[in-house]
Amino acid sequence: MFGVEQGAGPKVVIDFEPIGKRLYASLGQTVMQAAQGLELFEHGIGAPCGGKGLCARCLVRLVHGKLSPLTLTEERGLTKEQIEHGYRLACQAKVAGPCKLEIPVASLVGRQQLKVEGCQANVAPDWCLERYLVTGIRTPTIHYPHSLWQQIEKFLKEEYNQTDLQVNMNLLRRTDPAHYGNKVCVVVSGKEIVAVTAPGSDYEPLGVAVDLGTTKIAAFLVKLETGEVIASEGILNPQIAYGEDVMSRLAYAMESEENANHLAAAAVNGINQLIDMLILHHNFGIEQVRQAVIAANTAMHHLLLGLPVKQLAMSPYIPVTTAPVETTGDTIGLRLGCQAKVYIVPPAGGFVGGDHVTMIQASGIDRLNSVTLGIDIGTNTEIVLAVNGRMTSCSCASGPAFEGAHIYHGMRAVNGAISYVELLNNGQEVVWQTIGGEKPIGFCGSGIIDAVAGLIRCGIIVANGRLNPDHVRVRAESGKPAEFVVVPKHDNGLDVDIVITQKDIGEIQLAKAAIASGISLLLKTQGINEADIDKVIVAGAFGSFLRLESAIAVGMLPNLPLERFAQVGNAAGTGAIMTLLSSKERCRAETIARKVEHIELAVLPEFKREFAKALKFSVL
């Protein structure tokens, strides 16, 4: 049953069903504020609008107990039926007493299908260590008052002419002088002693490459001397709790220094979680992690490092710096080995970040002689056009629609999400597949793109995006926007029909128009036509699962033969691995960042015209 927590301050118990989570919340907190401490956002309480009550995505249902009265925002954002059944917005409802809340089934995201692998990182590692066997170690006495470190220093100088070596305080603290007997193995990187081990022990230096994206964080554990990628892991970026798009997070950060610190801590905690997973699951020691490389979009870069973001959030969207940043793990709160170095890949400019630089690097766009278009599709889509060695790039605020956000029955790529749709018999029959083969409970990004593409092919959507109200599967009730029934309620895991609404189609129009207009303006900048493109490289997690035919049909990608396309997965992560392993590749990444010409679309006079033109669908 419910109760009041014993302890300081008024605290009450909140139970979340059906996930079986319990927390103690302060009276007056919003449900969202209380839930952040339990990381319930991984289970479905999302905040695409940054907790401002604009998206109505943080639904919970009051089973029993006490919350604050409905706010005006809730009355406007919730339907009459939702209010009658006890639904509330977690960002608006305040804790007024002990209560039990239910997270709706369509919001139970579970573990998202995260694509972390990319193209092969073919690079020769140049990170090397020197290992020295130090013998004749004696136990200090009053007649031989020399510590272990003094004896090591003397031996290395006399036997190997190694002088002025540095050792950090943490290694000094961790080294037990009596543990090694009369021999030790000293491991040196450059002028730094990075480890002291027993003779014969196989000390293996490790590195971590991180792709810090708006929606996900991917990390790769790498053997620095051989280049072998041991393991990879991915999680949702914990910053999603504060908004699903970069502008929501930047706005949140600008509200107060405390908010900015929350966002930095969320990113650091997410990376640390991945490092722990990689290290512990493979029986390595954290002291073996000597290097880390982080490739991030510009907003994530600034929020991680605690840089000012006001100038980035407003036109002309200028980063604080486009120089590479090298620091240590403990400086920014990462749990790595003693004084392990952290290298942050530089952004190219504006919202064209370091992850775009490493995508270009991994896919080799900077070295191709053909006309190549590279697209890293995500909440913030980045595009590069390479023509005769000249690279121009832009970023497009494509928004979180491709992640299922702002879609009426949208969801992330988890079990039960519709990932494939095919319309047959002029749209009278719908064939669908879900992730995990479970009953459908909503659409992920690839599923909604497939569905809209099918509606276009069948003529159920006209050029301006309006649904044909005369079609047998289109409902156009009086006073309500039209909607297309994809999965009737008797065939799905919900208690209502799964539909595509007119608003959903509008969201896809906005997202695809952002990308299409960006491509069009890059082509005009370099004076070429769509037909001149020899190769289109599609990167990113969403790009890996996307059906190219559907993306072309909705007008997101150029209408070119499929053989000109290549889907390369998480190329940004691959580029981060290359930068981790090789100083030459690090220099190459910095060269790419300097060489890329960044174009800010919003300041181009023709942008609005191109965007408006790209909103239309090409119907048969």
In eight-state DSSP terms, residue 617 is -
Q: Residue 2's pLDDT is what? A: 35
Q: Residue 117's pLDDT is what? A: 53
Which tokens in the block code for residue 479? 């006073």
Secondary structure E strands in 366-475: 372-376, 381-387, 390-396, 417-424, 429-434, 442-443, 474-475
Q: Residue 380's pLDDT is what? A: 83
CB 51, CB 45: distance < 8 Å? no
At 431, the pLDDT band (50, 70, 90 cuts) reads very high
Q: Residue 5's pLDDT is what? A: 38
In eight-state DSSP terms, residue 5 is P
Residues in the chain: 620
At 105, the pLDDT band (50, 70, 90 cuts) reads low
CB 196, CB 156: distance < 8 Å? no
Helix (H) / strand (E) element for 187: namely strand 183-189
In eight-state DSSP terms, residue 70 is P
At 18, the pLDDT band (50, 70, 90 cuts) reads low
- Distance of alpha carbon 87 from alpha carbon 59, whole angstroms: 6
Whether pLDDT at 226 is above 50: yes
- Across residues 24-30, what is the average pLDDT? 86
Which tokens in the block code for residue 111? 């573990």
Whether pLDDT at 6 is above 60: no
- Across residues 138-165, what is the average pLDDT? 87
CATH of 130-197, one of 3.40.50.1100, 3.10.20.880, 3.90.950.20, 3.40.190.10: 3.10.20.880
- According to CATH, the superfamily of the domain at 11-107 is Beta-grasp domain (3.10.20.30)
Q: Residue 319's pLDDT is what? A: 92
> What is the percentage of the chain residues whose pLDDT exceeds 90?
36
At 49, the pLDDT band (50, 70, 90 cuts) reads low
CATH 3.10.20.30 location in the chain: 11-107
Q: Residue 36's pLDDT is what? A: 67
Cross-strand partners of 396: 381
Task: Report pLDDT digits (tens) over 543-589.
Answer: 777 899 999 999 999 999 999 999 988 899 999 999 999 999 999 99
- State how far the alpha carbon of 23 is from the alpha carbons of 36, 39, 47, 88, 611, in Å: 10, 11, 19, 18, 46
- Across residues 508-523, what is the average pLDDT? 92
Q: Name the residue with higher pLDDT: 118 or 322.
A: 322
CATH 3.10.20.880 location in the chain: 130-197
CB 321, CB 360: distance < 8 Å? no
